[in-house]
Structure formats: structure tokens, C-alpha cells
Amino acid sequence: RPLKVAVLGSSGAVGSELLKILEQRDFPISELVLLSSERSEGKKIIWKDEELVTKKTTKEEFKNLDLVLASAGGSISKKWLSTIIDQNALLIDNSSAFRLDKNVPLIVPEVNGSEVLNHDGVIANPNCTTILLTLVLAPLNKLSTIQRVIVSTYQSVSGAGQLAMEELKLLTEQYLQGNPQKSEVLPYSLAFNLFLHNSPMLSNNYCEEEMKMVNETRKILNIADLKLSATCVRVPVLRAHSESINIEFADEVEPKDALEELKKSPGIEVIEDYKNNRFPMPNDVMGRDNVAVGRLRTDISQSHGLELWLCGDQIRKGAALNAVQIAELLIPKK
């Protein structure tokens, strides 16, 4: 039956994409409620040819809801969790608030979709970099158990939000006009620059973004002792993340076998043309659903090693699309 659905954080980059994807995939909705902060209240949005207005988030707005898709930050999700649960609604949360909670499934539908049935009212959407990584690691893990992963990320500015995306264009223009300016949204200007991810630094000198990849990947792949190290970098790209991935397997894995496995994996497309040096680029995936992989090769520095490269849209598969795909797993088939 069509559902009463709320999008919490409907004005943000991910929130807006959620609305687009709900329409594109014809998600069965009887009523759509757009919830936002006081700052974004009253914003008019066209959805399915209807004009909707964003509402300030209050307790009343959660009445009789079936599903809440939240992308408004962890503190907002925590604030409204009990209200959502009291309404017997399901919360699919894009924040990191509940991801490592043992009672909360952390889901990439193509990887561990069957675990959605274990939810107690909350399902967590993984971090964007983790979604892209696990989508690719899972099929390869079938060929031989993955022992260790070293990943470097090249993260688009969309991960820092709508304002950061707009600012990148402005700072780049100013730089080209010989008038370079400091960033007001990020710690440093991204105009012809890059910097190590500025999430809070932890006591082990990894940042939160890097440890999300370690902890979330272990949970999604269900490999508790997976050895993983990540270096996360923010780069001057608009909305697609890229990742350089080095994998150590238990046994030898031939690149051609890995390629065949990836070619038949849902949500993945292969872009690999050694003759013309043509491999995935952010522009190949921007605004699209698939994650593009390529540049598979034997790691010459170790036995049982494989190197590969991926690009994926941070706002779609990295967040909004994955959340809607989780919701689709729970809709009774017609």
C-alpha cells in the first residue's frame, strides 16, 4: 500500500536527491511530508508536478508516518528517534548516529540486503565512501576471503554539502581572475587545491571519516577482523567520489576473474581500456546510479594482491539512492 513518507532534511543536497529518486523510482507514496530546519521552512518544492512546502520539524508532523528518510545530521536523528518509533514508523538514517549500534542494520542492499529484516525501527545508511567500497569488495570476497584493504579516497565536495559545492565554483572563478580567496565553508580553499579530510582527528591519528571506513566495512562485510587502513582526501570535484583500493586476499585472485565477477555484480559497471588509458572518472558517474570500476591489476608488491579504482556519485549511490533502495527492500512486493 502507498506509504506516508517524510524526508527529514529535505532542503539539503542529499534530501533534494531523495525527493528526485522517490519520484524517478515511483516509490509508492500516499503523502509526502518535507521536514526541514526553521531556516529552510516554507521552501516551495515541486514533486510529481505538485507544489509542496517544507515544514518546520515538530512532533505533530510525525503523526501516522510509515517511513522517515533522514539526512539532517546525527543530532536531529537522535532528537526525533523516539517520536518516530512511537509512531511505529521506520527510520532510515543517513547520519553516523546509529551505524555501529548492534541493533541497527547497516545496509548496502546489493551486499547485505537480507539483514534489513533485523531492524527494530531504525536502519542506518553507511557513509558514502563505505557504500562505494563495500559494493565492490563484496563480490570480490566471493573469489577469496579478503584479509586486508588499503584505500585512499578522492572525495568530492558534495560530501561537505550544497554550500561547499557552490563555493568551489566561486573560489575557482576568483582564482582564475587572479583574486584567490579563502574558503568560508571549508578549512581551506579547494580551488586548484586538495586537503586531507577535515573530520575530527582521533587519538590514533586517523580522522573520523577514515575510521568510519574501517568500522563500517567490517560490519557490512561481516569480517570482524578485516585489516583496513584508509586515507581520506577532499578534492576539487563536484559530486563523485573516487577510491584507489589495494586488496590482500587469502589466495591468488586473477584480475580477469575479478573483472568477470564485477561485471555481473548489480550496481557496478566496468570501465577498463588499457589500450587507450581509459578508466573511471567522476564525470562518468555524476548523477548516475552505477559505481564504475576499472584499472584492475595484480599488486606487484605482494602475493595474493589486487589493485583497483572506482568512482561513484556521492549523493546518489553514496547516500540517497542507497537509502531508497533499502526502503524498497521492505515494501511488500505487489
Which positions touch ligand 2RA (CB under 6 A)?
127-129, 155, 159-160, 209
Collapsed DSSP state (helix, strand, coil) of residue 271: coil
Which of 160, 258 has the CB closer to ligand 2RA?
160
Q: CB 159 → ligand 2RA: shortest distance, Å?
A: 2
Which of 87, 155 has the CB closer to ligand 2RA?
155
Which of 126, 280 has the CB closer to ligand 2RA?
126
Bridge-based pairing of strands 29-36 and 55-56 is: parallel
CA-CA distance, 201 to 194, in Å (whole number)? 18
36 within 8 A of 11, measured Cβ to Cβ: yes
| 21-29 own/partner pairs: CB under 8 Å, 24+ apart | 21/316, 21/320, 21/321, 21/324, 22/47, 22/324, 23/47, 23/48, 25/324, 25/328, 27/3, 27/324, 27/327, 27/328, 27/331, 28/1, 28/2, 28/3, 28/331, 29/2, 29/3, 29/4, 29/5
Q: Which one is catalytic: 128, 207, 232, 311?
A: 128
Which of 36, 96 has the CB closer to ligand 2RA?
96
13 within 8 A of 162, measured Cβ to Cβ: yes
Active site residue 197: no
Instruction: Give the strands of the sheet with 146-155, arranged side by side.
Output: 195-196, 227-234, 146-155, 240-249, 305-313, 291-298, 268-270
Residue set of the binding site:
11-14, 39-40, 99, 155, 158-159, 208, 234, 314
Residue set of the binding site for substrate:
155, 208, 234
Q: Which one is catalytic: 207, 232, 241, 311?
A: 241
Which of 87, 125 has the CB closer to ligand 2RA?
125
76 within 8 A of 57, measured Cβ to Cβ: yes
Active site residue 241: yes
Q: CB 313 → ligand 2RA: shortest distance, Å?
A: 12
Cell readout for 196 is: 586531507
Residue set of the binding site for phosphate:
99
The label of the residue with cell 573516487 reads: 242
Residue nearest ligand 2RA (C-beta atom): 159
User: Mind telling me the catalytic residues?
Assistant: 128, 241
